[in-house]
Amino acid sequence: MHLTRTMIQQGNEVVLIEKDEEVARELAEELDCTVINAEGTHPDILEKAGMDSTDAVVACTNHDQDNILIGLIAQEAGVERVIVKTDDTKFMEIAKKLGISSPINPPHISSTIISDALRGIDTIELSNLIRADVRVISFTTGEQHAGKRISEVQFPENTDCIGLYRKNDFILARENPKLEEGDELLIITRSGHIDRLYEKLRET
């Protein structure tokens, strides 16, 4: 619910799908958005929610398999930004292999912060560093990017690559590594460039 409230406050038009009838009714009363009481893994329900014209789909149920299925349906429908939550790191890897653009794993993020705290490391949250319209995004490279070096990738103005994750390794962009399919690029840009950036990267 917190995510939905945040998206609404930011001026986004949100459509929420909730399969529990009572919960759906409560959400409809509390939130200023469309709430559909249905099973979100059904393609026809996603179509009813306006998947064909949406900017993004976020799958954040309590079931990793359902989230991945929703992500695949949205991806097949051509949705540009597909965000899938997985609690199990194994499903996180599966989501990446299936080409889902933005899989996230909240337990891993939390455990990393806690682990750093136990070691006496003061972890600065990214949200405290990013201000104004600056954004840090990720992009998973495809077959068309393999063999190119980061320096060969054309980024829009006010945009740069920080580095990339390759499996469990992180490589800084200044090392100018050759890209491999499945690399996760970390890119810093401005919010107004995001759509054009994704478009350009998919064409490259």
Burial of 84 (0-12, 13-18, 19+ CB in 10 A): buried
What pLDDT sits at residue 158? 87
pLDDT tens by residue, 162-193: 999 998 899 999 999 999 998 989 999 988 88
List helix spans (H) across 49-125.
64-76, 89-97, 106-118
Q: How far apart, in whole angstroms, are the C-alpha atoms of residue 83 and residue 99?
A: 11
Banded model confidence at residue 7, pLDDT cuts 50, 70, 90: confident
Q: Where are the domains of the chain?
A: 2-111, 126-203
What pLDDT sits at residue 2? 80
Burial of 203 (0-12, 13-18, 19+ CB in 10 A): exposed
**Position with higher pLDDT, 199 vs 169:** 169
Question: What region does 181 belong to: left with phi over 0, alpha with psi -120 to 50, or beta?
Answer: beta
What pLDDT sits at residue 139? 86
Per DSSP, 131 falls in state -
What pLDDT sits at residue 23? 93
Give me the mean pLDDT over the 23-46 stretch.
93
Two tokens, residue 139: 């992009």
Does the pLDDT value for residue 195 go beyond 60?
yes
Same fold, 2-111 and 126-203: no
Does the pLDDT value for residue 92 go beyond 90?
no
Q: Comparing 86-90, 98-102, 146-150, 181-185, which segment has the lowest mean pLDDT?
A: 98-102
Superfamily classification of domain 126-203 = Regulator of K+ conductance, C-terminal domain (3.30.70.1450)
What pLDDT sits at residue 6? 86
What pLDDT sits at residue 96? 82
The phi and psi torsions of 56 (rounded to 5 degrees) equal: -155, 155
pLDDT tens by residue, 132-167: 788 888 888 888 999 999 999 988 888 999 999 998
- State the average pLDDT for the chain: 86
Give me the mean pLDDT over the 41-53 stretch.
92
Domain 2-111: give its CATH code: 3.40.50.720
Instruction: Please count the residues of the chain.
Output: 204
Two tokens, residue 53: 């014209």
Say how many CA atoms lie within 13 Å of 17 toward its Cβ: 22
Banded model confidence at residue 113, pLDDT cuts 50, 70, 90: low
Q: Are 80 and 198 in contact (CB under 8 A)?
A: yes
Say how many CA atoms lie within 13 Å of 96 toward its Cβ: 21
3-state secondary structure of 126: helix
What pLDDT sits at residue 115? 67
